[in-house]
Structure 1
Amino acid sequence: MEGPKAPKDPTKKRKSFYIMRGKSVAGSPQPDGRGIQFLYMNDGRMLSSARLVGGITDEEMLGLLATTAGFRQLVHSIGVTVEAEDRELVADFCLQMYGHRDVYGSGTTLRLPVQADGMERILELEGCEWSEDDNIPGQIRFEFPQAGTLATVAVRFYLQDGYDAPEVEDEQPVDFTSPYYRGMLEKSLMQTGNNARLKRVIDQARRGEDVTVAFIGGSITQGAGAIPINTECYAYKTFKGFCELTGRGLEENVHYVKAGVGGTPSELGMIRYETDVLEDGRITPDLVVVEFAVNDEGDETKGECYDSLVRKILNAENHPAVILLFAVFANDWNLQERLSPVGRAYDLPMVSTRDTVVEQFYLKPGSGKVVSKNQFFYDSYHPTSVGHTVMADGILHLLQVVDGQEADVDTLELEKIVPPIGGAFEKVRLLDRRHPHEEEPGNGLPSGDGNTVWDQWNLETDCGGFCHVDTELQAVERNLDLGVTPEFADNWMYRGAEGGRPFSMEITCESLLLVYKDSASNQVGCAEVWVDGEKVLYVDPHVNGWTHCNALICFKSGERKRRHVEVRLAPGMEDKDFTILGFGVV
């Protein structure tokens, strides 16, 4: 190899800041065999990355990142670095702008091939063609030729003349063996609670009995930010640590269930618990970790759904142990104060990631700071693999403390405890098109014998125009899978191009929730829910702006009676699509 005969003098670099630095990525499997890492930049994520990673505090500069027009005013060029084991590999860096008319279809996508050799490549913005419909910076993608490719990436924005950015200092690796780190873990333990159920599970595992450890929550439980998502997430690391604590091999007699769904609160979690965790009775968990402390802001009951979910889990015949886990966002926020009364009322073990990390974020290295926000957070909402390790270590610290304690007597009598927030949805169950009385055969549920919850509903349905099955669904990585499983696959879809009658049913129940699909598509319309001739709910599936599961309460009466329910497209939207994913029925 020969170098240039007369290399040019270096060009003076512009001021710049990173939005990603040393970030681990992995190519998730795509239908065409490629691997893609999606990194969403909307909803304030790019601004948060500029603060956390780039050290930007200038509010004017941060504000410019909120729109495509502002982005172009601020950013001159983009530097991208990719480093992988195969240095000859070429990845495509993509920055996609979301559009006004069509979120995913009408905006500009900037693309730059980058060799994975650790050298920075520059994307000059001046010569790029831009769409007139550009709205906001939407997402960054790293596209790899093969699924499963692991790489480390950096992205920085070089600034237009007149803008400044601070120099970024190198960070020290996280020392997981330091006394400061042990002190962090001690702060994570809110309470051990009554340890009887937890000690029983530990002892059962040690004796070689079959034990199932399950996790239910949002995107953090799904593994978002962990690379790879299946083995670096806090759930798997906790499971692995539990096996080590009890002296058992992985999946020897201790079994693992991970049921995290991104962007969803306990309002949906309580409905999907039987399908996603219990797998309709095929699994009986002995320990369940519940993580919704950063997902439940959108819960319209302000905690009653969370309380109901916890009661549902505790009330199982095998008396499982429950650990409440309180994750945290990069702005130091969670719903610990709202939800922790549930743990205190039922005397449950509780672990707070917020208490673990937030205080030390603001200390100096050598004075107690162990991990920075940049090291802990993958973006403004999700932890990195390092952050997932810290979360898991907090739970494992609890298990070690409980393991060293004398066993308590299990005094929990749930029926005698008034729910601290509310338990109206404790017995909620999912109704979808697998129901035994649905017209479609092969639903996989037990036939009615007069005693099941389904029989008690006395259900009669007419799906009308909602006779199709939607396959474009939110899909998640379950358990140890790298591939994704669709949520609520047994749904009812209305196609506006074909039309048809409203969905209607006669049902005997106390309360009802609608589970529906959110979407950014203009082809999806709004719907209305009518109960006994009265409109009780208007549903706009565009609020969240992505393909996503959502649940809303149709009615909560406390009175069990026969009702006529209809779901219909809103007036003027009969030519649009809408998907009923299911119902939550009490």
Structure 2
Amino acid sequence: MKNNNGIITGGKIEGPKAPKDPAERRNGFFVLYETAIEATARSEGPPSQEVYLEGNYLIDKARYIGGVTDETILELLGNCVGFRKLVHSIGVSVRRDPEQNEPISFLLQNWGKTSKYETGSSIRVPCPPDGSEVLLKLEDLEWSEEDAVLGKFAFEFKHEGELAIASIIFYLHDGYSVPELVIEPPVAFDSNEYREIITQSLLHPGNNKRLKTAIHKAIKGEDVTIAYIGGSITQGAGAKPIHTECYAYQSYLRFKELFGTNGGGNIHFVKAGVGGTPSELGVIRYERDILREGSVTPDIVVVEFAVNDEGDETKGNCFESLCLKILSTDNRPAVVLLFSVFMNDWNLQERLSPIGRAYNLPMVSVKDAVSGQFRLSKNEGNILSKRQFFYDIYHPTNDGHRVMADCLAYLFSETHKTLMDEDDLLLDQHPVIGNDFAGTLLLDRKSHIDAGRIEVGGFSGIDTDLQRVEMDANPFGTPEFPHNWMHSASSDEHSFKLTITSKNLILVYKDSGSSEFGKANIYVDGCLVVTADPHENNWTHCNPVILYQNEVSWEHQVEIRMVPEDQDKSFTILGFGYNV
């Protein structure tokens, strides 16, 4: 296998014996360009940075990173046959700190036709860490008739937490052509034009009494805790390193710099973002992940679910319930609503912002700050492009996370300048969408004794292969819902039974990409209400589903049993959310 400097043999680079005259460089486009990557621990295999390509992921990368507008070319990326028709070769380059000279392996994995994760071909090659391009000529590689679509790229490291910069370019066969990538100047963060963008983010200043109270406490040297709850953006996805470059940590630092005393040691940080999950799960895990079972009393809570709540079955009821749950705690914390945005300019601001206005909460819109100027050319005043802001179609880059942090910092500084409102928030009012889940509590193996009667049946195991998230300022992942009930292939056929008195009940079960997991039928009072399929999202992930929602509290019998054809497979009950 060749790269542009020599030959790779056994992971080492040797110089060419007789260098050829330069070949004409093929036309091509980037799907990853000068992108920060970070080694994350995996349940199987080495620490890696994974880049998923199925669905529209690869097409969107070609469109937004590579600047491809030709629909014929984009359509060819939709499957392996079209990909090989279009792409002549793949150029991969990785560079890292000169002191870290170990190669990083590049993996291209195709999803299979018969078994998605098992029958497609995989290609793995070592990449030198000095930025040299490794060239993979497609006709020289072994492919499989089972290859359906490109599944993922991965960069495999030796140690968790290692960082690098990577680029991937697709060189095209003759007959296909795309515009050459125009290299953009760095974002002018210190410019007046950038500062003007940030001012557009203040969607609603809201009642400032609680936020100013927290600011005054900080200035006086009292302990102040700022907490963040949300989805993958709050977790830090796209930021490298994830625990220090994410918007949550960066905005905490801004608050600390603005108002902390004696080096800011009195300002404390709590982060609880869980990727791919809505406020429907957030309202269940708030006491555990933010309040830490009563050991933490946050003064400010930033709530960020504007791009996650499409999956909320209640279409806003859980979001409003979560806000009320936070606002109603005894220490009266400030709640800040943060509206992030996807690459296609989508979020749920129109659905959720009326809740903020009704309760007069401070609201910050990243969408309002950046989306308008994305449409401008550099000559028209564009400050940062989508390529600079977005790591992928969902998550921000380090620059994007900085923008989000600056938007929150602008709210903090503007609030500090204003007079304090005399009256507190009015919470006792008719809900905008609903407040049925404000009293939701977590029920799991650790807490079930006081909440209901349980017969575990064949669900006697404990699953340890769980969704892991980087909490607080930790670089490592913490497992979500560790006190669970698991049915395994070797379990008996007896069902899980729960008798509980409650108004509402939400089941949280584990999604998985493993073929070892199967479906379970969920019955309430003898009636089948849902068949839970752990392959609905096909990755290790927490999935909430409402089993019932009533106006009054009644005793119910809940039964969970494997569907007959999946009795020899696994299923994990992560927990329940209940409201008495």
TM-score where L is the length of structure 1:
0.93
Candidates 379, 384, 392, aligned match of 2:405: 392
Equivalent residue, structure 1, for 2:5? none
Gaps of 5+ in 1: 438-453
Q: Does 1:472 align with 2:465?
A: yes
The residue type equivalent to 1:504 in the other structure is K
Decide whether aligned partners of structure 1 residues 217 and 49 sit closer, same or farther in structure 2, where only a CA change above 3 A counts: same
Decide whether aligned partners of structure 1 residues 283 and 101 sit closer, same or farther in structure 2, where only a CA change above 3 A counts: farther
Compare 83-92 and 261-270 and name the one that shifted more: 83-92
- 1:111-510 matched pairs, under 5 angstroms: 111-248=124-261, 252-415=265-428, 417-435=429-447, 437=449, 454=450, 457=451, 459-510=452-503
Candidates 504, 529, 552, aligned match of 1:511: 504
The residue type equivalent to 1:403 in the other structure is H
Deviation at 1:57, TM superposition (A): 1.1
How big is each residue's C-alpha offset from its partner over 1:299-358, in whole Å with a ceiling of 9 and x where there is no partner?
Answer: 111111111111111111100001000000000110100110110011000000101101
Decide whether aligned partners of structure 1 residues 34 and 531 sit closer, same or farther in structure 2, where only a CA change above 3 A counts: closer
Deviation at 1:366, TM superposition (A): 4.3
Compare 505-514 and 240-249 and name the one that shifted more: 240-249
Deviation at 1:83, TM superposition (A): 1.3
Q: Does 1:543 align with 2:555?
A: no
Equivalent residue, structure 2, for 1:43? 55
CA contact (8 A) 2:220 2:261 kept: no
Name the CA distance, whole Å, in 2 between partners of 1:430 and 1:32.
29
Q: Does 1:9 align with 2:35?
A: no
Sequence identity (%): 50
Name the CA distance, whole Å, in 1 between partners of 2:257 and 2:110.
46
The residue type equivalent to 1:17 in the other structure is F
Name the CA distance, whole Å, in 2 between partners of 1:149 and 1:432.
35
CA contact (8 A) 2:221 2:260 kept: no
Equivalent residue, structure 1, for 2:83? 71
Q: Does 1:566 align with 2:559?
A: yes
CA contact (8 A) 1:466 1:500 kept: no
Deviation at 1:264, TM superposition (A): 0.5
Pairwise CA RMSD: 1.8
Equivalent residue, structure 1, for 2:97? 85
CA contact (8 A) 1:199 1:407 kept: yes
The residue type equivalent to 1:264 in the other structure is T
Name the CA distance, whole Å, in 2 between partners of 1:146 and 1:274.
33
How big is each residue's C-alpha offset from its partner over 1:192-216, in whole Å with a ceiling of 9 and x where there is no partner?
Answer: 1000000000111111111111000
CA contact (8 A) 1:29 1:35 kept: yes
Name the CA distance, whole Å, in 2 between partners of 1:201 and 1:309.
20
Compare 308-317 and 86-95 and name the one that shifted more: 86-95
Name the CA distance, whole Å, in 1 between partners of 2:152 and 2:264.
37
TM-score where L is the length of structure 2:
0.94
- Which 4+ stretches in 1 moved above 3 angstroms? 2-7, 29-35, 247-251
Name the CA distance, whole Å, in 1 between partners of 2:387 and 2:556.
53
Candidates 47, 64, 70, aligned match of 1:58: 70
Equivalent residue, structure 1, for 2:115? 102
The residue type equivalent to 2:454 in the other structure is T
Deviation at 1:28, TM superposition (A): 2.2
Deviation at 1:378, TM superposition (A): 0.2
CA contact (8 A) 1:98 1:107 kept: yes
* Secondary structure of residue in 2 paired with 1:22: strand
CA contact (8 A) 1:219 1:260 kept: yes
Deviation at 1:30, TM superposition (A): 5.3
How big is each residue's C-alpha offset from its partner over 1:167-226, in whole Å with a ceiling of 9 and x where there is no partner?
Answer: 111101100111111110111000110000000001111111111110000000000000
The residue type equivalent to 2:391 in the other structure is Y
Name the CA distance, whole Å, in 2 between partners of 1:249 and 1:217.
30
Deviation at 1:410, TM superposition (A): 3.4
Deviation at 1:33, TM superposition (A): 10
CA contact (8 A) 2:257 2:264 kept: no
The residue type equivalent to 1:380 in the other structure is I
Name the CA distance, whole Å, in 1 between partners of 2:482 and 2:267.
29
How big is each residue's C-alpha offset from its partner over 1:214-269, in whole Å with a ceiling of 9 and x where there is no partner?
Answer: 00000000000001001000000000000001033666111101100111111111
* Secondary structure of residue in 1 paired with 2:566: coil
Decide whether aligned partners of structure 1 residues 435 and 7 sit closer, same or farther in structure 2, where only a CA change above 3 A counts: closer
Aligned residues: 566
Name the CA distance, whole Å, in 1 between partners of 2:242 and 2:70.
34
Name the CA distance, whole Å, in 2 between partners of 1:42 and 1:271.
31
CA contact (8 A) 2:260 2:266 kept: no
How big is each residue's C-alpha offset from its partner over 1:130-185, in whole Å with a ceiling of 9 and x where there is no partner?
Answer: 23322221211111233332211110001122211111111011001111111101
Decide whether aligned partners of structure 1 residues 382 and 289 sit closer, same or farther in structure 2, where only a CA change above 3 A counts: same
Gaps of 5+ in 2: 1-13
The residue type equivalent to 1:502 in the other structure is S
Deviation at 1:368, TM superposition (A): 2.1
* Secondary structure of residue in 1 paired with 2:130: coil
Equivalent residue, structure 1, for 2:6? none
Name the CA distance, whole Å, in 1 between partners of 2:166 and 2:408.
30
Compare 141-150 and 294-303 and name the one that shifted more: 141-150
How big is each residue's C-alpha offset from its partner over 1:6-59, in whole Å with a ceiling of 9 and x where there is no partner?
Answer: 642111122100001111112224579954212222232111110111111122
